[in-house]
Amino acid sequence: MPSGFRTEDGVDFNEVYYDGIVPMLQRYNEVDGRPDFRELLCEDADEKIKSTILATTDRMQKLAPNQTPDSIKTEIGRYQGLSEFYGTGQTRTWDYLRNAKADDILRDQANIFTADKETIHDTIVKAVLVNPAVAPTAVSGALYNGYYETYEGIATPPKYKTNSFQAGHIHYVTSGATSFALNDFDAAETHLREHGVKGDLLAIMHNDQWTQIKGLAAWTASGAISNPITDKIAVEGFVDKMSGWNIIVDDSMPTGYVLWTVYSQGGRLMKFHESNNGSFRGLLIIEGSAKYPLVGSYYFRFFNPKVFRRDMAVAMQITNNADYTNPTL
pLDDT digits (tens, 9 = 90+) for 170-215: 999 999 998 887 888 899 999 999 999 998 899 999 988 888 877 6
Say if residue 100's pLDDT is above 90. yes
Q: Residue 243 pLDDT more than 70?
A: yes
What pLDDT is stored for residue 1 in this prediction?
Answer: 37
Q: What is the pLDDT of residue 237?
A: 59
Burial of residue 52 (CB within 10 Å: 0-12, 13-18, 19+) is: middle
Listed residue (207, 113, 175, 116) closest to 323, CA to CA = 175
d(CA 198, CA 322): 28
Rounded-to-integer distance, Cα 244 and Cα 262, Å: 11
pLDDT band at 224 (very low <50, low <70, confident <90, very high): very low
Give residue 316's pLDDT: 96
pLDDT of residue 57: 60
Position 277 scores a pLDDT of 95
The pTM of the full predicted model, rounded to 2 decimals, is: 0.86
- pLDDT digits 0-9 by tens, 115-169: 999 999 999 999 999 998 775 555 567 999 988 888 888 889 988 888 999 999 9
How far is residue 105's CA from residue 208's CA, in Å, rounded to a whole number? 37
* Whole-number pLDDT of residue 8: 93
* Model pLDDT, residue 63: 85
Rounded to whole angstroms, how far apart are CA atoms 69 and 119?
52
Average pLDDT, the chain: 86
Overall average pLDDT of the 8-28 stretch: 94
Range from 236-245, 248-257, 291-300, 315-324 carrying the lowest mean pLDDT: 236-245
> In the sheet where 219-220 sits, what is the strand order?
172-174, 313-317, 257-263, 200-205, 245-249, 238-242, 219-220
Q: What is the pLDDT of residue 55?
A: 66
* Rounded distance between C-alpha atoms, residue 151 and residue 78, angstroms: 5
In the chain, the domains with their CATH numbers are 13-56+73-317 (3.90.1690)
The pLDDT tens digits of the residues spanning 38-71 come to 988 999 999 999 888 776 666 788 888 888 888 7
Q: Could you tell me what percent of the chain has a pLDDT over 70?
A: 88
Average pLDDT (306-313) is 93
Q: With pLDDT > 90 as the criterion, what percentage of the chain qualifies?
A: 53
Q: How far apart are CA 8 and CA 104, in angstroms?
A: 10
